[in-house]
Amino acid sequence: MRQWTWREHPLGAVIPEAATADHYETGGWRSLRPVLDREKCIDCFFCFIYCPDSSVMVQEDKMTGFKLQHCKGCGICAHECPKEAITMINEAEAKGLETCAADNKDGA
Amino acid sequence: MAKTVAMVGTDAVAEAMRQINPDVVPAYPITPQTAVVEKYAQMVADGIVDSEMINAESEHSAMSAAIGAAAGGARVMTATSSQGLALMWEMLYIASGMRLPVVMANVNRSLSAPINIHCDHSDSMGARDSGWIQLFSENAQETYDNVLQAIRIAEHPDVLTPVMVLLDGFIISHSIDRFDLIDDDVAKAFVGQYTPRNSLLDAANPSCWGAFDGLGGYFFEFKRAQAEGMLKAPAVIREVGKEYAEISGRRYDYFASYRMEDAEFVIVAAGSAAGTIRTAVDIFREKGLRVGLLKLRMFRPFPQQELVEALSHAKAVAVFDRSDTFAGDLGGPIFVETRSAFYEAEKRPQLMNFIYGLGGRDLPMSLVNQAIEMFKDAGSAEQKKRIVYLGLRD
Ligand code: SF4
Ligand code: SF4
């Protein structure tokens, strides 16, 4: 990332641009991952409204999944979904990794 | 034509606010500041001004609302005192950090414990490192004049730093004093229109304020940039003072010198005490003692170089402090700053500190006389005391 000196720093630390958080990966520490069952989904957008991280993606009036770059895995969407169309699965498993517990068991 | 009025000091603040007519005034009442916002609320209710008055549930909220409104691009003013200022603490740093030109009158009052509603400077002194400009006033006239100038100083693009105008609780705030109001249209033209550099309400140019700045971020650079506002403030304060003299006939600078030209013994003081000390100076001058007064107006930023220059010819300097630092025999805050300012000076006068008037303890002529008698012997074998609690039951 480009570094700048104090002389160039924006006055009052005002970022002269909106929604800059979009540029950052903030979902890196997620331990559970939401998975959508499109068959069950009725596109009510409850998940979209409740998600505290604006991580539910909607395109052309359809709920299309989750933006994992920002999703923290809180499970609120799964809890609020009236059709139980969202399941929270283990993130490590989803990534095809072994869990930390498994590591400990196999390791020292 | 200027209008001469007889009003209390809190009215002087409210009258200046009336002429400024700020967009938003969030406030919470506290003795002795209450009369400021009470009077201003009446002006709002009577339609004399069109400020949005926000009656907050605490000073913490009042300053929070001031910050929000200022970030929204509004010209914001408020007032407080003592515990109220203390409750604003965390928000003071946010206002200055975000470079929001909020102007606030602080009616100086002691801080508990024990409970005391009367004047000393411990409230604003505690906020001396919060990044606010602090200007002392001697009387109602200076209070009014400082408030008008504070708007111009705070909003200057080189400064963009909040300003606290200080007036002594009860002594100035609740005493009827004669002072001149400049004409409304002249005052309005002087303060001008405020154009914020960013505004949260400007939907066409969205901006993000107060974002988290992580470990690898720019907090350090940000704070250095903030210091720049304070470094540039003195030039602006002097410039605004000159411009104000043109419309009012009254001169303002970092400090005001009284009978200083050939003074051997100089008293440094801030606030209402200057009036009493000036009279004492006259009396001692008649007796042939070369005494002078340096009345400090600008405490933040602190005018170290100018102060040292102004005091360089003095044999002894007595700094009067209306608060203590409780730093273990270091003296009051103005003394600490003055002493530090002299570190690199080639010629250093004897320095004494008189801590006086805590919790509204009166400073009569007799005490000032006593102080002058003591410090004219400063440095002598008999007078080795550096810090004196003046008027203490000892
Ligand atoms: S798990 Fe939480 S953060 Fe992720 S999409 Fe669902 S509600 Fe949003
Ligand atoms: S809450 Fe459930 S049903 Fe509604 S849009 Fe989200 S996933 Fe689909």
Q: Which of B160, B197, B211 sits opposite A15 (nearest CB)?
A: B211
**Claim to verify: residue B80 and residue B202 sit in the same structural domain:** yes
**How far lies A54's CA from each of A17, A30, B212, in Å?**
18, 15, 18
> How far B237 CA lies from chain A's nearest CA (Å)?
20
Which CATH number belongs to the domain containing residue B264 in this structure?
3.40.50.920
Pocket test for ligand 1, best of A72, A79, A86, A91 (most atoms within 8 A of CB): A72
**Claim to verify: residue B259 and residue B235 sit in the same structural domain:** no
Please tell me the residue having the least CA distance from ligand 2 atom 8: A41
Please tell me the residue having the least CA distance from ligand 1 atom 8: A51
pLDDT digits (tens, 9 = 90+) for B32-61: 999 999 999 999 999 999 999 999 999 999
Tokens standing for residue A3: 């570094």
Distance in angstroms between the alpha carbons of the first and the last residue of chain B? 52
Residue B121 is which amino acid? H
pLDDT digits (tens, 9 = 90+) for B304-354: 999 999 999 999 999 999 999 999 999 999 999 999 999 999 999 999 999
Asked if the C-beta of A5 comes within 8 angstroms of chain B's C-beta atoms, the answer is yes
Cβ proximity of B374 and B387 under 8 Å: no
Say if B394 falls within a structural domain.
no
Tokens standing for residue B39: 């009077």
**Claim to verify: residue B155 and residue B269 sit in the same structural domain:** no
> Which of B156, B159, B201, B218 would you mutate first to test chain A, the one with the most A CBs within 10 A?
B218
d(CA B93, CA B89): 7
Distance in angstroms between the alpha carbons of the first and the last residue of chain A? 38
**Claim to verify: residue B230 and residue B269 sit in the same structural domain:** no
Please tell me the residue having the least CA distance from ligand 1 atom 4: A71
Q: Is the ipTM of this complex over 0.95?
A: no
Asked if the C-beta of B322 comes within 8 angstroms of chain A's C-beta atoms, the answer is no
Inter-chain CB proximity A12 and B208 less than 8 Å: no
Cβ proximity of B271 and B322 under 8 Å: yes
Nearest CA in chain B to A12: B98
Q: Residue length, chain A?
A: 108
Say if B106 falls within a structural domain.
yes
Chain centre distance of CA B205 = 35
Give the residue from B216, B248, B280 where a domain finishes.
Answer: B248
> Which pLDDT does position B382 carry in this prediction?
67
**Claim to verify: residue B221 and residue B301 sit in the same structural domain:** no
Chain centre distance of CA B135 = 3
Range of the domain at B65: 3-248
**Secondary structure of residue A103 in the 3-state scheme:** helix
pLDDT digits (tens, 9 = 90+) for A23-44: 888 898 999 999 999 999 999 9
Q: Which residues of chain A neighbour B213 with C-beta distances below 8 Å?
A: 13
Inter-chain CB proximity B207 and A14 less than 8 Å: yes
d(CA B330, CA B210): 37
d(CA B100, CA B161): 6
pLDDT band at A1 (very low <50, low <70, confident <90, very high): low
Pocket test for ligand 2, best of A35, A46, A56, A87 (most atoms within 8 A of CB): A46
Q: Which of A7, A11, A15 sits opposite B208 (nearest CB)?
A: A15
Question: Looking at A3-17, A64-78, B153-167, B180-194, which range is the least confident one?
Answer: A3-17
Inter-chain CB proximity B221 and A16 less than 8 Å: no
d(CA B187, CA B221): 37
Total number of domains in chain B: 2
d(CA A100, CA A106): 10
Taking the model in full, what pTM does it have?
Answer: 0.90
Report the atom number in ligand 1 closest to the C-alpha of A88: 1
**Claim to verify: residue B231 and residue B262 sit in the same structural domain:** no
Q: Which residues of chain B neighbour A15 with C-beta distances below 8 Å?
A: 207-209, 211
Cβ proximity of B334 and B319 under 8 Å: yes
**Secondary structure of residue B186 in the 3-state scheme:** helix
Look at residue B378 and tell me whether its pLDDT is greater than 80: no
**Claim to verify: residue B236 and residue B337 sit in the same structural domain:** no
**Claim to verify: residue B274 and residue B162 sit in the same structural domain:** no
Residue B20 is which amino acid? I
Beta carbon pairs, A and B, within 8 Å: 54
Q: Which residues have CB under 8 Å from B354's CB, separation 6+?
A: B318, B319, B320, B321, B371, B375, B388, B390
Cβ proximity of B82 and B322 under 8 Å: no
pLDDT band at A103 (very low <50, low <70, confident <90, very high): very low
pLDDT digits (tens, 9 = 90+) for B208-227: 888 888 777 889 999 999 99
Cβ proximity of B281 and B258 under 8 Å: yes
d(CA B152, CA B107): 21
pLDDT averaged over every residue in chain A: 87
d(CA B241, CA B255): 11
Strands B77-80 and B52-55: unpaired
